């Protein structure tokens, strides 16, 4: 019998714990599949903030927001997670297969590509270089799947801070693409490049991969 290939992206039922990273600096980082009902208070608070404007959901009501993520949960190619630091929700993370997303019509997606967006919602205990350390565990989460060879982001071209931090963190810029609600700046981070991009001044070897502003 021929074994079926493993899914490229981790997923599971709503509320399921699918991955844990024990960071010597951040503590325990849990990746839990988003529950659009149980986690709605957190979702609504975070997406309604003015600083989350590039996320694009600030004008949605609670019911609309819940229904949006129930729809995401129904898609086999798109996933959402609530990331917790020692039990405290800190990040909303979305992952997807670019070839099964409108983005796949704007560039030539490769079989090992994994798209992502993330929104930083809380911090917990003060920690130096917090956003870079969190970003590293997000990348480690995606690359924990052997089917993922390259991360793909497409931040709004107006989000200059996110683009600059992505470049500093090792992403290589691609072309700009016209999407439904924005002009996106494609950028890519291969598994090999990520592995080489260890931060030089961190004794724990953590890597700066993404940015606090997110890549929405």
Q: Look at residue 198 and tell me whether its pLDDT is greater than 60.
A: no
Q: How far apart are CA 47 and CA 193, in angstroms?
A: 31
Residue 201 corresponds to which tokens in the numbers above?
A: 């001044």
Q: Look at residue 75 and tell me whether its pLDDT is greater than 90.
A: yes
Domains of the chain: 17-196 (3.40.630.30)
Straight-line distance from the first to the last Cα atom of the chain, in angstroms, rounded to the nearest whole number:
42
Residues pairing with 184 in the sheet:
156, 177
- 3-state SS, residue 148: coil
How sure is the predictor about 195, in pLDDT bands with cuts at 50, 70 and 90?
A: confident
**Taking the model in full, what pTM does it have?**
0.88
Tell which wins on pLDDT, 194 or 84: 84
Q: What is the H or E stretch that residue 186 is in?
A: strand 183-190
Residue 206 corresponds to which tokens in the numbers above?
A: 């953590």
pLDDT 10s digits, 131-184: 778 878 888 899 999 999 999 999 999 999 788 877 777 789 999 999 988 999
Q: What is the mean pLDDT of the chain?
A: 87
pLDDT 10s digits, 88-131: 999 999 999 999 999 999 999 999 999 999 999 999 999 998 87
Q: How far apart are CA 119 and CA 86, in angstroms?
A: 18
């Amino acid at each position: 019998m021929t074994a079926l290939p493993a899914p490229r992206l981790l997923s599971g039922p709503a509320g399921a714990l699918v991955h844990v990273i024990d960071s010597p600096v951040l503590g325990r980082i849990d990746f839990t599949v988003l529950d659009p009902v149980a986690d709605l208070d957190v979702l609504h608070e975070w997406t309604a903030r003015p600083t989350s404007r590039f996320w694009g959901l600030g004008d949605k009501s609670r019911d609309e927001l819940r229904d949006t993520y129930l729809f995401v949960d129904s898609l086999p190619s798109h996933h959402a997670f609530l990331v917790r630091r020692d039990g405290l929700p800190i990040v909303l993370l979305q992952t997807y297969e670019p070839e099964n997303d409108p983005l796949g019509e704007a560039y030539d997606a490769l079989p090992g590509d994994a798209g992502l967006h993330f929104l930083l919602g809380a911090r917990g205990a003060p920690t130096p270089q917090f956003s870079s350390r969190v970003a590293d565990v997000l990348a480690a989460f995606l690359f924990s799947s052997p089917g993922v060879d390259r991360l793909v982001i497409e931040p709004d071209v107006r989000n200059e801070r996110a683009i600059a931090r992505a470049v500093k963190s090792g992403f290589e810029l691609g072309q700009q693409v016209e999407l439904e609600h924005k002009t996106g700046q494609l950028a890519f981070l291969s598994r090999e490049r990520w592995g080489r991009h260890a931060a030089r001044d961190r004794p724990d070897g953590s890597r700066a991969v993404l940015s606090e502003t997110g890549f929405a």
